[in-house]
Chain A
């Protein structure tokens, strides 16, 4: 498995898109600091970008990689290798290289502008951790979709739809249902609904560090009591892990019985 991981990883490291992705974050980081040299504010702006963009990139990259390396996968399948090792290796290779582009790309400007001496170091590390988690989650989801559809167009279409659903539509439905049922106590529902969407969960995790003042408004106390404590942080991080493990396991299961 490690060999395949290494191969996928090196393959991607040599690919143009990894560099584009890496340079995009590098430039984004420097532009943020060029406009405003306050580390804390840069973290806020970056949050907006990361919450939306890492899932999108993870999704598209995952699908793209899967389809373009299909022939190589078929070649590997002919070898005496477990399917599990092949797909797990590819999955980890893609996710790791994307996470690395993100962390290094954003990390360099932040380190240069003195993140280590700043109080925002924890916010920044949470942001990076969340970014990596989102990458892992969405690559796994997109692999699932790519495995399910042989047709590239269909695969792309569904993965974009999946991203759109998680990033936008889910929140829309969520907002709508809260407005319709606003005669009922909603804090539990709101809490539950955020747990079922990794993007929302990540957003709340970071918001709690940055926009605490707004979230502390009179209903925010519930959220704060849940997410703000050590237990809440532990729970949200384990939920994010569940979001990685379940789609990855599903993907492996699907791969085991798939007819190539």
Chain B
């Protein structure tokens, strides 16, 4: 009964909106010349169209539900004075603007678009240039950030901001954005039940995507390329990571995906290509890794301490310099039915499962873990010889760290390329 009344109310509201909403046009040739002026005379629910041109305005406050639409990307110049757009109301839509020149600060997070305490906001198809922070969302819910482009030229971590930064928010959808040259591409802190889909994050100096204390999130089909490090997931629970691409994250402390204190996640169908370390797991537990491709990485997966009950099943490990590096006892981690390009066993009964177990941790990998400088001996004849002798009779590597059913052919994974 209550629900029906709510629905009725919603419909009524919708109609009243349609009936009462007016639209205004702002432009150099129009009657209203500045956006601030247009907003001041608008009523809640109105629409403001912005004609092409350059608008030099200090912080524009949007304090009522409104729709703001740019035509042909009007340029809004923040003139390096604080925020450019301040969204402080529910149900605000901002579309098609080109926002430039946000003030840099070492104490405040000035952003091109700052959303604070808003519900049902939509930020769509905007372009942001020379913005300190790009889109900053705080204490907001049920928002959509879709199809925006954020381009920066960050040099150091201290003097740069994040592309899309969300803090203390719920149920956000961040999709199809393109973030380049910022500190973190996308940063989420205390953000729950959110979806991050189809974004491209590249050439950022720290992380492509950064989770802190965020639970129950999904990120799907994103692409992380050439960042300081691909994705860092820290202190979070139940994160679902699917079909992402982690590429070319190269550097002395770089990785495709960092898992730090993570519980119960799923990592499915991702591609890790040419990273120094594909996945670096530290304190990651109860995670299922399956149907991932690990190709041409320095290390495919490095397990540091405190990793319990992970399942590594049905993945492809191809042409990595070292497949797995592992510390400590098995702790209930399982390696089963993966494809290893270096597997040299045989399959007499032709069931596509190798008859001899594969040991993914080589003696050399163990040595490198102990004395990292020895990596310089990679691919030398001596290392091949000791690896071979260890394979024949394992002494140093954990005895039960093995894949008992290595596959003879790669697992078929739905490639999007």
Contacts and interface: CB of A to CB of B under 8 A. Distances in A.
A178 B371 contact: yes
A213 B275 contact: yes
A219 B372 contact: yes
A139 interface: no
Interface string A165-206: 001110110110011001000110111001000011001100
B251 A216 contact: yes
Nearest to B278: A213
B371 A221 contact: no
A207 B322 CA distance: 14
A189 B381 CA distance: 20
B285 to A, nearest CB: 24
Interface string B289-325: 0000000111100000000000000000001011000
Contact of B374 (A52, A178, A191, A212): A178
A47 interface: yes
Contacts of B368: 217
Contacts of B319: 41
A47 B382 contact: no
A215 interface: yes
A140 to B, nearest CB: 21
B367 A175 contact: yes
Contacts of B275: 213
Contact of A213 (B250, B371, B381, B382): B250
A223 B376 contact: yes
B149 interface: no
Given A213-B276, A216-B276, A175 B378 contact: no
B277 A217 contact: yes
Interface residues of B, number: 33
Given A175-B367, A213-B274, A214-B322, A219 B375 contact: yes
Nearest to A211: B321
Given A178-B371, A214-B322, A216-B276, A171 B382 contact: yes
Q: Is the interface of A mostly helix, strand, loop or mixed?
A: helix
A211 B378 contact: yes
A215 B250 CA distance: 10
A204 B381 CA distance: 13
Nearest to B275: A213
B378 A167 contact: no
A232 interface: no
A260 interface: no
A48 interface: yes
A72 interface: no
B298 A215 contact: yes
Interface in A44-69: 47-48, 51-52
A190 B254 CA distance: 22
Contact of B299 (A200, A214, A224): A214
B370 A216 contact: no
Interface in B342-396: 367-368, 370-383, 385
Contacts, number: 104
A168 to B, nearest CB: 5
A220 B374 contact: no
Contact of B252 (A175, A186, A220): A220
A34 interface: no
B377 A213 contact: no
Given A171-B380, A207-B378, A211-B378, A216 B373 contact: no
Given A182-B370, A216-B251, A216-B252, A171 B379 contact: no
B374 A179 contact: yes
B204 to A, nearest CB: 18
B314 to A, nearest CB: 24
Given A168-B381, A190-B376, A213 B321 contact: yes
A211 B379 contact: yes
B385 to A, nearest CB: 7
Contacts of A224: 252
Given A52-B381, A167-B381, A214 B375 contact: yes
Contacts of A191: 376
A52 to B, nearest CB: 5
Nearest to B254: A216
Given A168-B381, A171-B382, A211-B379, A217 B252 contact: yes
A203 B385 contact: no
Contacts of B297: 213-214
B40 interface: no
Contacts of A214: 276, 297-299, 321-322, 375, 378
Contacts of B371: 178-179, 182, 186
B230 to A, nearest CB: 13
Contact of A212 (B250, B367, B376): B250
Contacts of B254: 216
A215 B378 contact: yes
B1 interface: no
Contacts of B277: 217
Given A213-B321, A217-B299, A174 B377 contact: yes
B253 interface: yes
A51 B380 CA distance: 8
Contacts of B276: 213-214, 216-217
10 contacts: A48-B379, A168-B381, A178-B373, A179-B370, A179-B374, A203-B379, A204-B376, A213-B298, A214-B276, A219-B252
Top 3 A-B residue pairs of the complex, sorted by shortest distance between their CB atoms: A214-B298, A214-B321, A171-B382
Given A41-B319, A182-B371, A217-B252, 4 more contacts: A48-B379, A168-B385, A211-B378, A217-B372
